[in-house]
Amino acid sequence: LLFAKRLQRRILPKGGIYGNLKIDHLYKPSEMLSGDMFDIFYIDGDNIGIYICDVVGHGITASMMTMFVRQTMRAIKEDILSPSRALEQLHQRFVTLDLGVDKYFTMFYAIYNIKNRKLKYSNAGHNCIPIKYNFKELSLLKISGFPISLIFDEIEYKENEINLNIGDKILLYTDGITEVKNTEGEEFGIERVIKIIEEDKENVLNRIVESVENFRWREQEDDFAMVLMEVLE
């Protein structure tokens, strides 16, 4: 377990500068091993892939599935420059594992072009809607899609494209943030995340973690991960 924990943490991408993107992230498993996964990688000289994934459950089974996700995404990344087609290919490879209908995961996957600052994205059932913001406005990157599971033999995903500007930020996160409950059974929710962003756009990740810790009743029951990307000059 300790070895698997070290391995899972070591394969997470480093924060820092990727082309003209600045990446920060926070990651906290509820147990020794996590079902939350994210990755950032160069696809080619112009394009960067970034995703966040949430595997059902915790522990060894969930952590093994995150390994499958990581290896598969890195295996297909150079062949597919469409997020929707990449998710479809990921689904096809997952089906061949034949793990059972109780095993599934969600993912939001985006491809960012360094030169023209265009962001293409697709969603496989990830209900934590990414938040795009700058100093003037805030919006949600809404797009529908089913989780990757054995429910469907074949599936097609939708894809959107937006233009980003210098200073734009996008927050990716998992439901370990929004579904935390207080003593009254109330969930933290996306509205509180948005409020934190509106109040302090420069220290978002730490502010969210601090607020979740103060809001939560009992011990942490779910993994959580957050990735913040910012467009630089």
Q: Is 184 exposed, middle or buried (0-12, 13-18, 19+ CB in 10 A)?
A: exposed
* pLDDT value of position 204: 94
Strands of the sheet with 36-42, listed across from one edge: 36-42, 47-55, 105-113, 118-124, 160-163
* pLDDT value of position 111: 97
Strands of the sheet with 138-140, listed across from one edge: 16-18, 21-28, 224-231, 169-173, 131-133, 138-140
If the chain, 233 residues long, is cut into consecutive pieces of 10 residues, what is the mean pLDDT of each piece? 78 92 88 80 94 86 87 86 95 90 93 97 96 95 95 92 97 92 92 94 90 82 85 91
* pLDDT value of position 224: 83
Q: Are 42 and 77 in contact (CB under 8 A)?
A: no
CB atoms within 10 A of CB 230: 17
CA dist., res. 228 & res. 131, Å (int): 10
* pLDDT value of position 1: 75
* pLDDT value of position 127: 92
Q: Return the amino acid letter for 70.
A: R
